[in-house]
Amino acid sequence: MELNINEEKFFIADLNENLTKDNKPYYRFVLYDSNSKQYNAIMFNIKDVSYKPSKGDVILLNGVLQQYNGQMQLKILDVKKIDDAKSEDFMPKSNYDIDNMFENLKKIIFDNLKNDNLIKLCSCFFNDNDVTDKFKKMPAAKTIHHAYMGGLLEHTLSIVRLAIIMSRHYNNYVNQDLLIIGALFHDLGKIYELDLTGGINYSSSGRLVGHLLMGIEKVNEYIKTIESFPAELKDLIVHMIASHHGFLEFGSPQKPKTFEAIVLYYMDDLDAKINTISTIFDKEGIEEGWTSYDKLLERQLFKHNIED
């Protein structure tokens, strides 16, 4: 099956130049169309094109959508750059309404927090429009999980909801207020670590410092504005952010050492895994049955249709 693509707009999310067996150069692309649908694409006649495409460009192309090795691939015949288009219009986005998620997050937090110092800390965050504007549109990651605009907010809202459930289940051990704060701020540094210019990329400061330390720095800025904020409470919050990757080899400078930090680590990992698996099913169009082998998870995945 072949489908002609004529003068349609796409965003270049990734681009690599390779050589054929005959030592001829060609491009491999990852593209998004105006509906944020992803395409794998290839272009062979690259010497005949006056414009050299780059990652982050929005392009107008002609080509053929065809099957190759059992998967759909877009063969590009001709390409032109569009200078006045916004890359964010093409990037994948959360399926949930951003403003509704943000208002739900705010309501859940202030309906459940009891500690005055932590209420003030959350007020600092929600009143910081520069931060919340970035927080609402940023992905949770470059790849792997919630890797789309609004993904950070979606992931954070999910973790906060889990925090309330888990703290009530383990109410003899877990401080609900602390766990809510850890859930809210654990990935705050992603707003500085990631950059949406020309796609989802890491910023220079993100590569050098990382979101754990950047998040801690921002939370400490807020805490400094709150008079007589308890030092131990600050340390417990910082520890949750610093340790939420769980292990030193995964980027955490500390392993989780409190009930709240341990629960936060497992909630974060669980929510990321569920989103990752869901994305794999969606990407492969699996309604029921097995996926192909996933290198990251080191397994195939099975989707059933058993109803409740």
pLDDT for the residue numbered 289 = 96
Each residue of 215-270: pLDDT tens digit? 999 999 999 999 999 999 999 999 999 999 988 777 788 999 999 999 999 999 99
Residue 307 within a domain: no
Q: Which uninterrupted H or E stretch holds 4?
A: strand 2-19
Domain of residue 31, residue span:
2-88
Residue 37 confidence class, pLDDT cut points 50, 70, 90: confident
Domain boundary among 64, 88, 112: 88
Residue 1's pLDDT band, with cuts at 50, 70 and 90, is low
Establish if 293 belongs to a structural domain: no
Q: Provide the pLDDT for residue 264.
A: 98
What is the pLDDT at residue 24? 87
Are residues 139 and 8 part of one domain?
Answer: no
**Max mean pLDDT range (42-56, 71-85, 158-172):** 158-172
pTM score, whole prediction:
0.86
Are residue 65 and residue 155 in the same domain, yes or no?
no
The C-alpha angle 296, 301, 306, rounded to 5 degrees, equals 150
The answer on 100 and 67 residing in a single domain is no
Same domain, 132 and 120: yes
Per-residue pLDDT, 283: 82
Task: Specify which of 30-34, 156-160, 284-288, 294-298 reaches the highest per-range mean pLDDT.
Answer: 156-160
Is the domain of 80 the same as that of 101? no
Q: What is the 3-state secondary structure (H, E, C) of 30-69?
A: EEEECCCCEEEEEECCHHHCCCCCCCCCEEEEEEEEEEEC
| CATH assignment of the domain containing 50 | 2.40.50.140
What pLDDT shows up at residue 20? 87
What backbone torsions phi and psi does residue 156 show, to the nearest 5 degrees? -65, -45
Domain assignment of residue 304, yes or no: no
Q: How many domains does the chain have?
A: 2
Asked, for residue 40, whether it belongs to a domain, the answer is yes
